[in-house]
Amino acid sequence: MKFWNVCWLIALTAFTVETAQSGTLYKWVGQDGKVSYHDQPPPENAGYRVEEKNLGGRDKAGTDESAAAAEKFPIVIYTTPKCASCDLARAYLEKRKAPYSEKNVESDPKLQEELKKKTGALSVPTITVGSKVMNGYMESLLEGELDQAGYPKVGSAHKKENGEKPETEDR
């Protein structure tokens, strides 16, 4: 009898852990650039920039491709809080479902020095895809670098979900 109770307890725990890990994580960025993470969005008109992350496992097509590309060609974006080009670059990376690390250089001397060593200047956004460095944001340039690195294209996730073959270019 104890054996079956233990089995049920293990099964129930495994189910609970899976559901507890799914959900949405909200990254709140304050006007001063401070970042905090929460399981709920901030109150409206609170002055936070919010980024939403789905924690529901591998429900997005293209995640495996993104992970493989990210391992070989990690993306890092150097930003400041009040930067429209940074926001555009971030939005494009999210649209491509490309995982990236963000480094806020506004008030961090170590990150500023790191950026100067990589590029020779303090310019945001600066985006690195592997060893390639891009100063500023130009969608077509970033698109080409992500394509070369093997990140999934924008439409490929939708097509895979529907069983369609993603478009490929003949080269």
Residue 150 backbone phi and psi in degrees, to 5: 95, 15
pLDDT in tens, 139-155: 999 999 999 999 988 76
Q: How many CB atoms lie within 10 A of CB 24?
A: 13
What confidence tens digit (pLDDT) does each residue in 4-31 have? 665 555 655 555 444 444 566 778 788 7
What's the pLDDT at 47? 79
**All domains of the chain in start order, with CATH:** 24-56 (no CATH), 58-162 (3.40.30.10)
SS3 content of the chain, % helix, strand, coil (to 5): 40, 20, 40
